[in-house]
Amino acid sequence: MPEPVAVIGGGLAGAEAAFRLACEGIPVRLYEMRPGKMTPAHRTGLLGELVCSNSLKSEAEASAQGMLKQELRMFNSLILQCADKVRVPAGAALAVDRERFAGLVTETLSANSLIEIVCEEVQSIPDAGVVIIATGPLTSDAMASWLMKASGSDNLHFYDAIAPSLLLDSVDLGKVYKASRYDRGTADYYNCPMNREEYERFYQELVEADTRAGRDFEKGAFFNACMPVEEIAARGIDTLRFGTMRPVGLDNPSSGNKAYAVVQLRQEDLEGRVYGLVGFQTRLKWPEQQRVFRMIPGLEKAEFVRYGAMHRNTFINSPRLLKTSLQFKARPSLLAAGQLIGVEGYMESAATGILAGLNAARLCNGKSPLVLPDTCMLGALVNYVCTAREDRFQPMNANFGLLPVLNSRIKNKQERYLEMSRRGIQALTELSELSPK
């Protein structure tokens, strides 16, 4: 029996890494500092807690997220196994009950005899043995300091925001309607329509609302995928109408009326009591969130159970530090995974955790680490993260732009994406060593 691999961080990437190692018969010591030391955004000490949204995004085969999910299922993904058991209605997307999801991840890992869970903060990386660092975007100050010293350069960072959640029974259902955009999937979203006058009044209050005073770490740039709604609005009066609040494809099914702008609410728990404001990440002060968001039709008496918040997301300069096997160039027995390496998104984080766990197991067994083909979504994403320009490196989501072009030209975008997805899945099936034990 080899020495336990130390996996530092109990988020999605750390959970997947530990699970994959155990599937390979390798003992694991999984470190998580919560609940002894909490982060600004977490609420529990559970492993795999979802901080921002409860959505794991699209399952459609002709989407980047759908393709990535197919690959993860081939890898025997723990996260998707748990998500499938606690999913909530979300149209064509996969969304989960947050607390039940994290509880199930924790329960599964705790029950595995090869995984020892250690609830303590790791402030520096052990000098010996195989180690995976997956401390995530909310890496503690002590670990961030260690990373800066070890890498020889400052960490990069961006700023993330969380959207508020509210109780459905506080929503005026007479003013909202259920629909999914373009009728894709089932009608699982509540839609709050605005006419032009309502939108312009809401917009004006939003851009003039009081934001929380910025801390030192907020002097940089926001990451576009998690831009606070007030920051988007500040770019121009129509930016929300062509983004977060776009009304296209969301006509009221009972009346056929077209709205000028729409705010969507997405279910966040199995019972359907809690809903989140889709795309409404914010750093407004809490009283301002209550005041401004209650201007949305149907939310005049909204009871918020979670306010939007802001936190620092830290990531390393992976093109400078990592190989495409997710090993550190300066220390091959040290691997990294998750948002810490500069991938953005729940599934992207989980996927890199699987790859790090797989390669850590191979190191323990005296085998060479794997580098995935760039025709699969995970391989393309890791390839980008580890080979991008060091001086312009920014976090990246899964997207078809990362994949090499097809040999034959296909004009129809949906058909082209389907063919890219099939090509990538086929490339993975040819790697027999990836089959879970």
Helices marked H in 224-303: 229-233, 286-293
Q: How far apart are CA 19 and CA 34, in angstroms?
A: 19
H-run or E-run covering 58: strand 55-58
Q: How far apart are CA 220 and CA 223, in angstroms?
A: 10
Q: What's the angle, vertex CA 134, arms to CA 283 and CA 40, rounded to 5?
A: 25
Residue 433: per-residue pLDDT? 57
Residues 86-120 as b or e (16 or more Cβ within 10 Å = b): bbbbbbbbbbbbbbbbbbbbbebbeebebbebeee
Tokens describing residue 164: 């508020």
Per-residue pLDDT of the chain (437 residues; tens, 9 = 90+): 779 999 999 999 999 999 999 999 999 999 999 999 998 778 899 999 998 889 999 999 899 999 999 999 999 999 999 999 999 999 889 999 999 999 999 999 999 999 999 999 999 998 999 999 999 988 888 898 888 888 776 666 766 778 999 999 999 999 999 998 888 878 899 999 999 999 999 999 999 998 865 544 444 456 666 789 999 999 999 999 999 999 999 988 888 888 999 999 999 888 888 899 999 999 999 999 999 999 999 999 999 988 988 777 789 999 999 999 999 999 999 999 999 999 989 999 999 999 999 999 999 999 999 999 999 999 999 999 999 878 768 788 899 988 998 999 999 989 999 999 999 999 999 885 554 44
Q: Are 38 and 363 in contact (CB under 8 A)?
A: no
Q: Are 114 and 1 in contact (CB under 8 A)?
A: no
How much is the pTM? 0.78
Exposed, middle or buried: residue 36 (CB in 10 Å: 0-12, 13-18, 19+)? exposed
Residue 222: per-residue pLDDT? 62
Q: Are 20 and 353 in contact (CB under 8 A)?
A: yes
The owner of tokens 């090499």 is: 404
Q: How far apart are CA 179 and CA 186, in angstroms?
A: 7
| Residues written for the chain | 437
Residue 436: per-residue pLDDT? 46
Residue 274: per-residue pLDDT? 87
Tokens describing residue 337: 């995974």
Residue 434: per-residue pLDDT? 59
Residue 310: per-residue pLDDT? 78
Neighbours of 326 (CB within 10 A): 28
Nearest to 132 by CA among 338, 405, 377, 348: 338
Q: What's the angle, vertex CA 434, arms to CA 428 and CA 437, rounded to 5?
A: 140
H-run or E-run covering 122: none
Distant-in-sequence, close-in-space partners of 157: CB < 8 Å, separation ≥ 6: 217, 220, 312, 313, 314, 315
